[in-house]
Copies of this chain bind each other. A is one copy, B any other.
Amino acid sequence: MDAMTAPTDIRADVWTAFRDCRLWRTASDEAVATLARSARLSQVERGASLAREGEPAEEFGVLVSGRARVFYLGADGRQITFETVEAGQPLAAVAAMAGARYPANIDAATPVTYACLPTEALFDLLAAEPQVARTLIADLASRVVNFTSVVSTLALDVPSRVARYVFGRALQSGRPSETGLHVSLGMKKGDLAMALGTTPESLSRAFARLKDDGVMEVSGQNITITDMRALAALGSGYDEG
Contacts and interface: CB of A to CB of B under 8 A. Distances in A.
B80 A142 contact: no
Contact of A148 (B72, B149, B152, B237): B72
A141 interface: yes
A12 interface: no
Nearest to A53: B237
B136 A137 contact: yes
Contacts of A78: 155
A121 interface: no
Nearest to A236: B75
A103 interface: yes
Total copies of the chain: 2
A241 B133 contact: no
A5 to B, nearest CB: 31
Question: Contact residue range for chain A?
Answer: 35 or more
A185 interface: no
A206 B185 CA distance: 39
Interface of A: 53-54, 72, 74-75, 78, 80, 82, 94-101, 103-104, 123, 126, 130, 133-134, 136-138, 140-145, 147-152, 154-156, 160, 197, 236-237, 239, 241
15 contacts: A54-B239, A72-B151, A74-B155, A80-B151, A94-B141, A95-B145, A98-B138, A98-B142, A98-B145, A103-B149, A123-B134, A130-B133, A137-B140, A140-B140, A154-B154
